[in-house]
Amino acid sequence: MRRSARFLALTAGVAVLALTGCSTPDAGDSTANGATAEADGTFTLYSGRDEALVQPLIDIFEEETGITVDVRYGNTAELGALLLEEGDRTPAQVFLAQDAGALGALSNADLFSTLPEATTSRVAAGFTSTDDTWVGVTGRARVIAYDGEALSLDEVPTSVDAFTDPEWNGRVGIAPTNASFQAFVTAYRVLNGEDAADEWVAALAANSPQIFDNNRAVLAAVNEGVVDTGLINHYYWFAQAAETGAENMRAQLAYPEAGDAGSIVNVTGAGILSGAEADADALEFVNFLVSERAQQYFVDETYEYPLIEGIDAPTGLPAIDSLVNSELDLADLDTLEVTQDLLAKHGLI
């Protein structure tokens, strides 16, 4: 219903535009400017997560609360750039992001308000922001995808260190411009030190890795037998398996041994933009995201790790504790720029 109302508004706007040349305000959407600060039964969400995965959850939220959510879907990186460009004039009240890097960039630009402790404390430290500007929602493990027809599980390295061996020359797929890959390299730096990281990145770059634009493309290539292994997030495998059937998946997943930088868990998360600090609707939605209902939804529908107590990880996945390196805190991963300089130095980005 609302969609068709919007569509009418669009058509009307376009018709008016066509008639007058250029400068008539579009009545249907003129609320765009300026965040509404108070609870008014509606708010705007920028979602860097896909519609097919998130909209059913939003429908539940709308039904339960009677709050209307206007959602703008896009990819996390572009919506992050959009929010930075909009600054305090954004029409959005909440940003739901696919990775912590984007949330950190907005936090650094002072675009987020501080969340109440009651909200942030639901998620264990290490999986959420350190200054309460955003809260972690789900976890995604870094994994090694391998071609199940070319390799058996015991042939797959248990540590990313092995991928610099000549044996793996040209046989590793990576997406170095991708935020989750960069978070992993940052973890490598934190765990092993700058010198070791420099050495590893240099050796990897010299080992003819196959470069892709994103995790999805890496997985597709492994699944087609184009490349033997790929460094991705676990969740992509389950998403593709849901489409084509798990039994038809040529790519399989191997989990690096606990403690290896290659096994870190990245989080998705949400924050409230600074103009909407007092918006109870926005806060209610963020609270909903870390409620048992929503967390269980993510476990069942997207095979991600829940981040609150009392919800079990999806069946078939190793326990999150077995992946996470206790010496590593997400807060240590905010030195993205150093990582990027490192990757740039060796020509990977």
Partner 1 sequence: MTAPTLPGTSRAPRPGARLGVRGASNFGVTTGPARTRPPLWLLLLAAVCAAAAAIPLVYLVVRTTEAGLGELLDTLVRPRVLQLTLNSVLLAAAVTASTLLLGIASAWALTRLRLPAGRALLIVAALPLAVPSYLAAYGWLVWFPGLNGFWPAWFVMTAVCTPYVTLPVAAALRGASADLELVARTLGKGPLGAFRAATWPQIRPAAIAGGLLVALYSLSDFGLVAMLRFQTLTWGINAAYGASFDRNQAALLALVLVVLALVVVAGERRSRGQLDRSAGRTRPRPRAAGRLLVPALTVLLLAPLAGIAVPVFGLGSRLLEAATLRAIDVPRLVEAIGATLALALTAALVTALVALPIAALAARYRGRLVAMIEAVGFLGHALPGIVVGLSLVFFALAAVPALYQTSVVLVFAYVVLFMPRAIGSMRSGIAAVPGSLTDVSRMLGYSPLVTWWRVTARLALPAIGVGTLLVAISVMKELPATLLLRPTGISTLATELWGRTAVFEFGAAAPYAAALVLLAAVPTVLLSGIRGVAKEQS
Least distance from partner 1 to the Cβ atom of residue 340, Å? 5
Q: Are 184 and 204 in contact (CB under 8 A)?
A: no
If the CB atoms of residues 177 and 291 are measured against partner 1, the closer one turns out to be 177
If the CB atoms of residues 4 and 326 are measured against partner 1, the closer one turns out to be 4
If the CB atoms of residues 123 and 231 are measured against partner 1, the closer one turns out to be 231
If the CB atoms of residues 3 and 118 are measured against partner 1, the closer one turns out to be 3
Least distance from partner 1 to the Cβ atom of residue 191, Å? 21
Nearest to 176, CA basis, from 145, 139, 204 = 204
Q: At what angle do helices 194-206 and 179-192 cross, to 10 degrees?
A: 130
| Interatomic CA distance for residues 148 and 145, integer angstroms | 9
Could you tell me which residues are beta bridge partners of residue 213? Answer: none
If the CB atoms of residues 105 and 123 are measured against partner 1, the closer one turns out to be 105
If the CB atoms of residues 33 and 315 are measured against partner 1, the closer one turns out to be 33
Least distance from partner 1 to the Cβ atom of residue 43, Å? 11
Least distance from partner 1 to the Cβ atom of residue 227, Å? 8
Least distance from partner 1 to the Cβ atom of residue 320, Å? 23
Number of neighbouring beta carbons within 10 Å of residue 56: 12
If the CB atoms of residues 119 and 138 are measured against partner 1, the closer one turns out to be 138
Least distance from partner 1 to the Cβ atom of residue 3, Å? 6
Least distance from partner 1 to the Cβ atom of residue 303, Å? 12
